[in-house]
């Protein structure tokens, strides 16, 4: 039996070859992560996925030719919901960040971030299913507040849904949350999907931000 520890497999999708290569070297320097493959855009990513295999997490640029980050994360969320996506971009405006999160990204990180923050973000996305830095979180809140006048009437939530939202904002994994609620992972998926419909968001990050912004949880 091999004692070699399992490493989390990472795919890097970015149209800048030099940056992509440097990023791959950085990821491979992390003890628990390794690059499975690289791709220039979403279309190439789909091809490599079939040829090479499925990564655990995707580092995804936003602006790319042929198939950009918005379309790519939406496709991943639909076709492979178990794959985590961490958006990595130079774009810092709240509109871009919110659109990526609403399309299914588990987190958003600036390309100007320090290497240590990339490691923290990757670990958080794998353990908690989401990551937002303080700066990014602030931009998301500001962006959501700009659209308050367009919001639907706030929905009502059951006690169980509120309990789920509280646990969602913790360090617990989905499996651990299900155990805390004494329900099966499948039932947990039903709660999550119901909350997606009620809140209009489409990701765990979006639910967490919505819950905090609307005072539904204590932090």
Packing angle between helix 134-146 and helix 204-213, nearest 10 degrees?
70
Same domain, 115 and 200: no
pLDDT per position as a tens digit, 175-197: 999 999 999 989 999 989 999 98
Q: Cα(189)–Cα(82) distance, rounded to whole angstroms?
A: 12
**pTM exceeds cut of 0.85:** no
Give the CATH number of the domain where residue 177 resides: 1.10.10.10
Structural domain boundaries, residue 28: 8-144
Mean pLDDT of 44-48: 97
Same domain, 192 and 86: no
Of the candidates 36, 43, 39, which has an alpha carbon nearest to the alpha carbon of residue 16? 39
Beta-carbon contacts of residue 82 (< 8 Å; ≥ 6 apart): none
Domain-terminating residue out of 84, 116, 144: 144
Flag whether 1 is in a domain. no
If pLDDT is split at 50, 70 and 90, which confidence band does 1 have? very low
Flag whether 218 is in a domain. no
Flag whether 2 is in a domain. no
Residue 202's pLDDT is what?
84
If pLDDT is split at 50, 70 and 90, which confidence band does 216 have? confident
Same domain, 131 and 183: no
If pLDDT is split at 50, 70 and 90, which confidence band does 155 have? confident
Flag whether 134 is in a domain. yes
Check if the beta carbon of residue 13 is closer than 8 Å to that of residue 76. Answer: no
């Amino acid at each position: 039996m091999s004692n070699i520890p399992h490493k989390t497999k990472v795919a890097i999708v970015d149209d800048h070859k030099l940056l992509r290569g440097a990023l791959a070297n950085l990821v491979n320097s992390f003890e628990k992560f390794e690059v499975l493959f690289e791709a220039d855009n979403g279309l190439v990513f789909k091809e490599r996925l079939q040829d090479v295999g499925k990564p655990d997490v995707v580092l995804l640029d936003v602006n790319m030719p042929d198939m950009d980050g918005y379309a790519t994360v939406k496709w991943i969320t639909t076709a492979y919901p178990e794959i985590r996506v961490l958006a990595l971009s130079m774009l810092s405006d709240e509109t871009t960040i919110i659109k990526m999160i609403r399309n299914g990204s588990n987190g958003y990180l600036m390309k100007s971030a320090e290497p240590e923050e990339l490691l923290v973000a990757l670990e958080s996305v794998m353990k908690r299913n989401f990551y937002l830095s303080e700066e990014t979180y602030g931009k998301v809140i500001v962006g959501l507040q700009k659209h308050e006048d367009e919001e639907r009437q706030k929905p009502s939530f059951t006690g169980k849904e509120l309990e789920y939202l509280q646990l969602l904002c913790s360090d617990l994994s989905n499996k651990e949350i299900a155990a805390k609620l004494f329900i099966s992972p499948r039932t947990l998926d039903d709660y999550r999907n119901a909350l997606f419909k009620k809140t209009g968001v489409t990701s765990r990050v979006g639910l967490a931000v919505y819950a905090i912004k609307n005072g539904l949880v204590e932090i």
